[in-house]
Amino acid sequence: MFLKNLMSTAGLLLLSFSIAAQNPTAQLDSLFSLLARENQVLGSVYILKEGRPFYQATISKGSTTISRQSPLYRIGSISKTFTATLVMQAVADGKLELEDNLAQWYPEISNAASIDIRMLLAHRSGIHNFTNDAAYSSIMESPQTKEQMLQRFALLEPDFSPDEKMEYSNTNYVLLSYILEDLYQKPIAQLLSENICTQAKLDNTYFFTAEKRSEAEADSYYWTGSWTAATNTHPSIPLGAGGVVSHPEELCLFMRGLHQAEFLSEEALEIMKGPSETGLGLFRYPFYDKLAFGHNGGIDGFVSHASYMPSEDLAIALCLNGSQYPMNDLLIDILSIYFQREGYELPSFEKLELEEEVLVRYTGTYKSANFPLDIKVFLEGKTLKAQASGQGAFPLSAKGDNVFEFKAAGITMTFNPEAGTMNFEQGGLKVPFKR
């Protein structure tokens, strides 16, 4: 499933650090070597400084060392920045205006006459995010026609009135993909190739297809105690919301080129960047006194980030095809090393080992009147695992007295084995369960 903005605009604002000046590339090698040894991530990083390569590293499945060669990755919602660029090019071509309303193309969508192109780009339409529906998992691996998708979208109840607020929705960008195809009478894959990739010589950036898959494309995995293959969304579904494959270097080149007016005028870029944290296909990422513009992505076990920091002429792309270690934490590590933040230390992956007779006290099936799924907690070998109804199992790591976490998903579970209760936390969600 494609993911919304994983790293909030405040996500990089941390306590002040202090570290003696060292060789940042050697430190980055130490960081990624550690992550490889500890099975924390699979994937690649690329840093472009003033248009020249500064650092790159790749961690591959089955390897405990880093390499300098990168495969291709599905980039999920970073695709939206490409789509927004194509929309702004259509505006420049006189094909449409940001104030044009959705009813000109798809009047069957709720509130279509009150939703304009700008609202779709900025996630202010109120159209429900179709990938959040429980039924989505039943269609995600099957081919879907445009007509089937539009029928599905027409049945969605709005989450709020148009332009009332911002709420991330993949539906917006699938609709924008259809509008672009209607305007140019070309598939969006062809528009991406002709209007961006050919111009910038991005030979490894394209929409993934069901019929032909490059051998250079990486597979994706989830950590379940070992790397387990992820499911694959059918390419007929995500389109410009999450359907692009790319290479970390090319993502850096695209983000830098976008900010240097290679694809749009400076005026159009300023519109994309927006006056606040949420622009049109771009988000703002502050790191202390510095500011980057870019996007995060996630689809089928892939998570990614690409951004450009104008004040530093610095582009960074991170493409992971498996992760235990949260991407936001890894980005903070990378930037702390690059900027030589004081007091920065490499992450520690020391584990609190508990005996089997202790772990068995937490096992059982937990239920809550405030949560639709039961959560089964069980032992597999010497590993405590949890599994919500109908979902995959995930390992739990002990963090302290009766506290366990699955860091990759930001899940914390606090048990009271005597009372038979468990408090579940993820993001801002806090739910009490009873065994």
Q: What is the pLDDT of residue 7?
A: 36
Residue 399 has a pLDDT of: 87
pLDDT band at 2 (very low <50, low <70, confident <90, very high): very low
Domains of the chain: 73-338 (3.40.710.10), 356-434 (2.40.128)
pLDDT value at 288 more than 80: yes
List of E strands, 324-428 = 364-366, 375-380, 383-388, 394-395, 397-400, 403-406, 411-416, 421-426
Compute how many other C-beta atoms are within 10 angstroms of the C-beta atom of residue 151: 12
pLDDT band at 13 (very low <50, low <70, confident <90, very high): very low
**What residues are paired with 303 via a beta bridge?**
298, 320
Q: Are strands 283-287 and 290-299 parallel, antiparallel or unpaired?
A: antiparallel
pTM of the model: 0.84
Sequence-distant (6+) residues with CB within 8 A of 281 are 80, 81, 83, 84, 85, 87, 121, 272, 295
Structure tokens that stand for 251 in this block: 């993502």
Sheet holding 403-406, edge to edge: 397-400, 403-406, 411-416, 421-426, 429-434
- Note the pLDDT of residue 17: 32
pLDDT at 4 over 80: no
Query: How do residues 103-120 score in pLDDT, each as one tens digit?
Result: 999 999 999 999 999 999
Q: Tell me which residue of 158, 96, 149, 100 sits closest to 125, measured CA to CA.
A: 158
pLDDT tens figures, 70-107: 999 999 999 999 999 999 999 999 999 999 999 999 99
Sign of CA dihedral 425, 426, 430, 434: negative
Percent of the chain with pLDDT over 70: 95
At 341-368, the pLDDT tens digits run 998 999 988 888 899 999 999 999 999 9
pLDDT score recorded for residue 245:
98
Alpha helices in 5-99, H assignment, sequence order: 24-37, 79-92
pLDDT of residue 22: 67
Burial of 423: CB neighbours in 10 Å, binned 0-12, 13-18, 19+: middle
pLDDT band (50, 70, 90) for residue 8: very low
When pLDDT is averaged across residues 210-216 and rounded to a whole number, the result is 85
Residue 381: per-residue pLDDT: 87
**pLDDT tens-digit profile of 149-204?**
999 999 999 999 999 999 999 999 999 999 999 999 999 999 999 999 999 999 99
| E strand or H helix that includes residue 256 | helix 248-259
Q: pLDDT by residue (tens digit) across 23-39?
A: 999 999 999 999 999 99
List, for residues 132-158, the tens digit of each pLDDT value.
988 898 999 999 999 999 999 999 999
3-state secondary structure of 282: coil
Mean residue pLDDT across the chain = 92
Torsion (CA) 43, 49, 291, 275 in degrees, nearest 10: -100
Q: What is the predicted pLDDT for the residue at 172?
A: 98
Q: How far is CA 330 from the centre of its chain?
A: 13
Each residue's pLDDT tens digit, 235-275: 999 999 999 999 999 999 999 999 999 999 999 999 999 98
pLDDT value of residue 20: 40
Neighbours of 65 (CB within 10 A): 11
pLDDT single digits (tens) 363-420: 999 999 988 899 999 999 888 999 998 888 889 999 888 999 988 788 999 999 999 9
Contacts of 151 (CB under 8 A, 6+ apart): none
In this structure, are residues 173 and 86 in contact, taking their beta carbons and an 8 Å threshold? no
Asked if 68 contacts 32 with a C-beta cutoff of 8 angstroms, the reply is no
Residue 309, pLDDT > 90, answer: yes
